[in-house]
Amino acid sequence: MASDEDCDYLFKTILVGDSAVGKSNLLSRFAKDEFHLDSKPTIGVEFAYRNTKVGDKIVKAQIWDTAGQESFGSLTFSSDDRFRAITSSYYRGAQGAMLVYDITRNGTFEHLKKWLTELREFGDRDMVIVLVGNKSDLVDLREVDTEDGKKLAELENLCFMETSAKENLNVEDAFVEMITKIYEIAA
């Protein structure tokens, strides 16, 4: 556990979205400037930290990452209670969420509604949500238009950005936007 003595604020943020959209690589790009072409599926819950300067303050973001099945709801748990316990501990206290889809897979975009329902059910009401269309480097494989991402974000009142964890495009901006918005609300 990193100490919070070297920062002015500590924010909990989470990554959500279908599996293989690039959540873990966005996190490793932001936290360690690393990208892995053959990254393994995340098992359980992992997290990483990174300090960011907002104005003259140092904000430490604790960023949670998980297996990211189609939704937590699709995991098979022995009982509904167990599912709710795990899901709510992931969301508990999260001040920001990065909701990620893959611009080359329309299905991951269509599932966003379900993710938003879950975020609103389990998350805090004033949670900052940044919608991220990842893999923008794969121009020839694009299935989701930038406009569609933008429209959904406007409709749902979210920030929006397209990123490439691979080419390191907008990754820093997306996280910093989320962290800055949280700072404006929480600090």
Structure tokens of 77? 């748990």
H or E, element range at 32: helix 23-32
Q: Which of 9, 11, 16, 24 binds Mg ion (CB under 5 A)?
A: 24
- Answer for which of 2, 7, 10, 20 binds ligand GDP (CB under 6 A) is 20
- Interaction between residue 37 and ligand GDP (CB under 6 A): yes
Count, residues near Mg ion per rule CB under 5 A: 3
The pair of three-digit structure tokens given for residue 74, joined into one six-digit string: 């699709």
Distance (Å, rounded) from C-alpha 24 to C-alpha 19? 10
**Residue 60 binding target from Mg ion, ligand GDP, none, CB below 5 to 8 Å by type:** none
- The answer to whether residue 21 forms part of the interface with ligand GDP (CB under 6 A) is yes
111 binds ligand GDP (CB under 6 A): no
Reading phi first (left if > 0) and then psi (alpha if -120 to 50, else beta), residue 142 is in beta
User: Minimum CB separation from ligand GDP for residue 49, in Å?
Assistant: 18
Range 38-77, binding Mg ion (CB under 5 A): 42
19 belongs to the binding site for ligand GDP (CB under 6 A): yes
Of the candidates 2, 12, 42, 49, which one interacts with ligand GDP according to CB under 6 A? 42
Query: If you search the block for the tokens 């990842």, which residue do you land on?
Result: 134
Residue 17 DSSP symbol: S
Q: How far is the CB of 23 from ligand GDP (least distance, A)?
A: 3
Distances in whole angstroms, Cα of residue 118 to Cα of each of 19, 32, 51, 72, 136:
16, 29, 28, 9, 26
Tokens representing residue 49 in the block: 């930290």
